[in-house]
Amino acid sequence: MADDRILEEELASFRREWRAEIQRTSNDSGSSRNSPTTESTSQQSREGSPSPLLLAAKKNSVNNVTQQLEEQATQLFLQGVSAERSGNLYEAIYFYRQAVQLVPDIEFRIEDFNNPNVTSDNDEGDEEADISQEPHDMPYLTDLANRFNSLSVTGICQPYYETRMTHISVISTGTHHVYF
pLDDT (tens place) for every residue of the chain, 180 residues total? 678 888 888 888 888 888 888 888 777 665 444 445 555 555 555 555 666 666 666 666 777 888 888 899 999 999 999 999 999 889 999 999 999 999 888 888 887 654 544 444 444 444 554 555 455 678 888 888 888 777 766 666 777 778 788 766 666 666 555 555
The pLDDT score that the predictor gives to residue 120 is 46
The pLDDT score that the predictor gives to residue 75 is 92
Kindly tell me the number of DSSP H helices and DSSP E strands found in the chain.
Answer: 9, 0
Which of 92, 180, 85 has the alpha carbon at shortest distance from 129? 85
Which of 38, 69, 67, 41 has the alpha carbon at shortest distance from 54? 41
Instruction: Determine contact, residues 107/113, Cβ cutoff 8 Å.
Output: yes
DSSP-assigned letters across all residues of 159-177: -SS--SSPPGGGS-HHHHH
Instruction: Determine contact, residues 80/95, Cβ cutoff 8 Å.
Output: yes
The pLDDT score that the predictor gives to residue 138 is 81
Instruction: Determine contact, residues 172/156, Cβ cutoff 8 Å.
Output: no
